[in-house]
Structure formats: C-alpha cells, structure tokens
A and B are shown apart, each in its own frame.
Chain A
Amino acid sequence: QVQLQESGPGLVKPSGTLSLTCAVSGGSISSSNWWSWVRQPPGKGLEWIGEIYHSGSTNYNPSLKSRVTISVDKSKNQFSLKLSSVTAADTAVYYCARVNGVNGHYMDVWGKGTTVTVSS
C-alpha cells in the first residue's frame, strides 16, 4: 500500500527557509489524489499548510500563503514544502498526507512526521 516518508533538516535558523520532501512509495504521485502538508506545534493541535495535485495545482492555508510553496517532482515520485521567513512559531512536527481522491475531503495516508526546530 501507499507509504509516505518525510525528510529534511531538523534545525532551521530564524528568518531562514524550511525545506522538506515527502517521498511516495507503493503508489504513484500521479494518481487521482491531492497531496498535503500538515503541521503540529509541540503540545498543540493540527494545522493544514497546503496541498498539491500532480498537475502542479496548489491550494494553501490563507494564513501561511505568503510564505509557502509546495511543488511536485513526478520523476522522483515526491512532493516538497518550502516555508520562508521562519520563526520559533514554525517549530513543529511536519506531516505529509494523501488526500483521498480528486474531490477528497479527508486524509487517508500519513507519513510518520518529521520534527523541525527553528532556533539559532
């Protein structure tokens, strides 16, 4: 079955750019699904960051839109997240997830998550 694996630096300096990749295995990123990023600050709830379709179409959380870029690399079967101008408030566990279907409303497959700390 489809599995997702996040990777990227665990430590990012304030004002820098957070960059993460989600590798998709057991299935194709070009399937009829959207692919999302979700984060969870320590001890807090879940926040949706944005999503991408294999065509390159994207949707972003309005509160993060000015700082977020999500891209897809079909040749590597992966998608990526860039979050610019980070502060300590961006410290969180970052998850990638599959949205079920083209018109999906829920996330049925999740990566294990990767912790990113913003600190000098």
Chain B
Amino acid sequence: EIVLTQSPATLSLSPGERATLSCRASQSVSSYLAWYQQKPGQAPRLLIYDASNRATGIPARFSGSGSGTDFTLTISSLEPEDFAVYYCQQRSNWGYTFGQGTKLEIK
C-alpha cells in the first residue's frame, strides 16, 4: 500500500496570504496525484488531478506541482472561502489512498 503523508496537519494563515501544502508518497506515484477540498458538512471537491491540472471551474489561484513522491498544492492568495480541509489522493495497483488531510484555518 502506498501511504500519503500530508504536512502540515494545520496551517494558520490570513486572507491574501499564500498557502503551501505538501503531500509525500511512500513510493513513486508518477504524476497520478489528485487534490481535494472539503468544507464542513460537504463532500470532497476535486481541485487538481494528475498533479498539476486544475479541474473544471477551479480558480487559477489554485495550482499543483510535483512528481514521483513529492507534491505541493499552492493557493496564491487566500480567499475567505478557501479555508477548509485539503486531501491528496493517489491510485495504485492496491487501490486508492488518501492523505490524512491538512486543515487550513484563518489566523
């Protein structure tokens, strides 16, 4: 099983600041990594797929990078609606696994 480790667990920032979230895989996942945003009481929402492609309707302030085992989700300038929990996810021969999540909270 491929384990995804996200850091930090919690990130406290203010609107307008830049957010950098990390996801590290226990072995290479090539570029097959996705990022999701989840707000309280809501289903996850796909943000980024294949490491760097924005999903339909996702604002340009969201960007993804990385390959192999190290990946980053960057939010260039935080809007109030961006404060949520973010998960990374990969698919391997053993199925899908998710990271444990990074909670992005208002400072």
Contact = CB atoms under 8 A, between A and B. Distances in A.
Interface string B86-107: 0101110011111111000000
Q: Which 8 A-B pairs have the closest CB atoms?
A: A106-B34, A48-B96, A105-B91, A110-B43, A105-B32, A46-B98, A106-B49, A108-B46
B32 A48 contact: no
B34 A61 contact: no
**On chain A, which size bracket covers the interface?**
20 to 34
Interface of B: 1, 32, 34, 36, 42-46, 49-50, 55, 87, 89-91, 94-101
A62 interface: yes
A95 B89 CA distance: 15
Contacts, number: 58
Contact of B91 (A38, A46, A50, A106): A106
A71 to B, nearest CB: 18
19 contacts: A38-B96, A45-B99, A45-B100, A46-B89, A48-B95, A48-B96, A62-B95, A95-B43, A105-B32, A105-B50, A105-B90, A106-B32, A106-B50, A108-B46, A108-B55, A110-B44, A110-B45, A111-B43, A112-B42
A47 interface: yes
Contact of B94 (A45, A62, A112): A62
A47 B98 contact: yes
Interface in A25-42: 36, 38
Contacts of B50: 105-106
Contact of B95 (A60, A95, A108, A110): A60
A100 B44 contact: no
Given A45-B99, A48-B98, 15 more contacts: A36-B96, A45-B87, A46-B89, A48-B96, A50-B95, A59-B95, A62-B1, A62-B94, A62-B95, A105-B49, A106-B50, A106-B89, A107-B34, A110-B43, A112-B42
A24 to B, nearest CB: 15
